[in-house]
Each structure stands twice: as structure tokens, then as C-alpha cells.
Amino acid sequence: MASRLIINADDFGLTPGVNRAIAELHQAHVLTSTTLMATGAAFGDAVAIAHANPSLGVGCHIVLTDGEPVSAPHSIPTLLGEDGKHFRSSLLDFMQALMRGNIREEEIECEALAQVQKLQQAGIAVTHLDTHKHTHLFPAVARPLLRVAQRCSIGAVRNPFEPAWSSRLAPNAFVRRLQFHILSMVGKRSFESLPQLHNGNMHTTEGTIGVSATGQLDATSLRKILHAMPEGTWELVCHPGYNDAALNAITTRLRATREVEREALLQEIPQAIRTVSGLELIHYGQIGQPHRDYERSL
């Protein structure tokens, strides 16, 4: 069996510079998929780019930390921080509230539904769902997320768990690897046993690669990951963009590294297509289809 790879850029809609990088990479045939933030400052620009590039798979990047919700604040009080208007800005605070049972699953479902419907109302054929900061590592987020996917006729979801072979290749990422290893022990079995996935009603991948390398995904680390990739269907998560004034005004830890990732994709993906035997590039909307040459669909 050949390897199938979804190359997905998170944070579509964050800034015009992030959007431009995603469009350029897709047009260069080195990026197949992206996930759009319904709450992103450059949402309208991203929607226009998506319509102009129909071969780009576009999912919904569900945001439950950082920024403002789509739903009315009074309808999702347990998802909000102290000001009652914005999500918790800290992933740790979100995790603690979730594990203490202080966040209601029905409110996660309400907000995720509102974000997906905003994309669909803008004419986006949503290919899949994932979450900002991989919050659906936790069953209490994954369960309502899959209910929303079914309700909105979305056929795929990111597998948020990184395989050990990929995480070991991330440079200088011991702490991040340890964090994801602990979270994997808590949630991986629960995720795989969710009925939508267990029964085959929802598509996903064998795992998501490049998670531990986020913020350090340069050409060298990307090359190592791609050449170590075994047979199966995988997602490579990336965060390309331009480090410009608009990005500087946004709360994000990824700034200069977005340009490093953009250059790494341009350099290494064409090389991998030539050298990795049987490699096929797809997006999430094609995950359940027979193997074919992605290039022919561009």
C-alpha cells in the first residue's frame, strides 16, 4: 500500500499574510489542505481565496481557546474566561477546567456548530474538522466535535495523536514530546473507540505528523519526517505564513517560524514527491476515495 499524505495548514483566516502563504503554497502544489478559523481577523479574505482555489481542501479549525466566540456569550458561559466575553487565553486553564468538569460538552457542541455553520453559510464545502491547539485530544471535546461533524454532513476529522516515530524526529522538543505522550495515554484509546470512528462512519488518518516539530519545522526536520513516513494515510500539520505587521498584531507564539515552514514546504515537498516511493498527496475530502494522482485534480 502506498503512502497518502494530507498537507494541512492550520490558521487559515488568521491574517492576510497567512492566507497569502497558504494560497501560494497550494498553487505551487506543495499544500493540499487547510483549516479555516471562523473567528479569524482575515476570514473574508480566506473565503475569497478558497473560492478561487477549488482544489484546496478546506476544513474548519474549531477555536475554543483565544479570542472571541461566534456564539452569543450568554449561551456558552463555561467556555469563557473571567471577562465573560472571550475564550480562556491559556490552554492550561482550558485543560484544567475541562478535567474538573467545569466546561459543559453541550456548550462545546453549540460553539463548534456555530463555527462550522459560519463557514458553510459562506459557501465553503467543509472537508473536515480539527481544533486550535489540538483540544480534541480530550474525549470531552472529541465527542461533541464528532456530533457536529455528523450533524453538518462532514465526513472526516483530524486524528490529533502523533505517532512516536514522528515525535522523535522533532528537534529540541523533549518537553513538547513528553506533554503529547502523556495526553496520548489519556485520550488515544478513547478517541479511537468513539462510535463514529469505530464504525467507520467518519474518516481519519493513522495520525498527524509534525505536531512536536511545530515552531521548529525547518527543511531538515521536514525531510527526516517525510522519509521516515511508513505506509498508510497521514496528515502533516504546518503553520506557514508571512511574518508581517498584521501577524505582529495577533496573539500567537508562531511568528518567524511561519516563514521557515513556508520555505521548507517549497523545498522539500517536490523532492519528496520524486523520491518517496508511491507517495500520493490528497486532502481530507479525498480520504475515502481510491488512490489516484492528486496532481491531475489541480
- Would you state the pLDDT for residue 156? 97
Per-residue pLDDT at 298 exceeds 50: no
Cell match 522523535: residue? Answer: 168
Predicted local confidence at residue 296, as pLDDT: 43
In sequence order, the β-bridge partners of residue 12 are 36
Q: State residue 295's pLDDT score.
A: 45
% pLDDT > 70, the chain = 91
Lowest mean pLDDT among 40-49, 86-95, 288-297: 288-297
CB 176 within 8 A of CB 133: no
Whether the per-residue pLDDT at 291 is higher than 80: the answer is no
Report d(CA 25, CA 258) in Å as an integer: 12
What one-character DSSP code corresponds to residue 152?
A: T
Which pLDDT belongs to residue 294?
44
| Residue 56: φ, ψ to 5° | -85, 120
Q: What is the pLDDT of residue 152?
A: 97
pLDDT at position 61, please?
98
In whole angstroms, what is the distance from residue 287 CA to residue 183 CA? Answer: 26
Q: Which residue has the cell 493540499?
A: 32
pLDDT in tens, 205-233: 999 999 999 989 999 999 999 999 999 99
Q: Looking at residue 185, what is its pLDDT? A: 60
DSSP 8-class letter at 216: -
> What domains can you pick out in the chain, each with its CATH number?
3-297 (3.20.20.370)
Q: What is the pLDDT of residues 10-68, one digit of tens each?
A: 999 999 999 999 999 999 999 999 999 999 999 999 999 999 999 999 999 999 999 99
Closest CA to 205 of 2, 1, 6: 6
How far apart are alpha carbons 119 and 36 in whole angstroms? 8
Q: How confident is the model at residue 189 (pLDDT cuts 50, 70, 90)?
A: confident
What pLDDT is attached to residue 183?
58
Exposed, middle or buried: residue 26 (CB in 10 Å: 0-12, 13-18, 19+)? Answer: buried
Contact present, 25 and 265 (Cβ < 8 Å): yes
- Kindly indicate the confidence band of residue 297, based on its pLDDT and cuts at 50, 70 and 90: very low
The sign of the dihedral angle between the CA atoms of 202, 206, 209, 211 is: positive
Q: Look at 71-75, 156-160, 288-292 and tell me which has the smallest mean pLDDT.
A: 288-292
Interatomic CA distance for residues 85 and 291, integer angstroms: 46
Question: Above 60 in pLDDT, residue 175?
Answer: no
Collect all residues with Cβ–Cβ distance below 8 Å to 168 and sequence separation of at least 6: 177
| DSSP letter assigned to residue 226 | H
Q: Where are the alpha helices (DSSP H) in the chain?
A: 16-27, 43-52, 91-99, 105-121, 139-151, 164-167, 174-192, 195-198, 219-228, 245-248, 256-275
Beta bridge partners of 237: 8
Instruction: Determine the Cα–Cα distance for residues 38 and 42; give it in Å rounded to an integer.
Output: 9
Dihedral over Cα of 204, 205, 206, 207: its sign: negative
- pLDDT by residue (tens digit) across 229-283? 999 999 999 999 999 998 888 878 888 999 999 999 999 999 999 998 889 999 9
Residues in the chain: 298
Q: Element (H or E) spanning 89, and its range?
A: none
Banded model confidence at residue 168, pLDDT cuts 50, 70, 90: confident
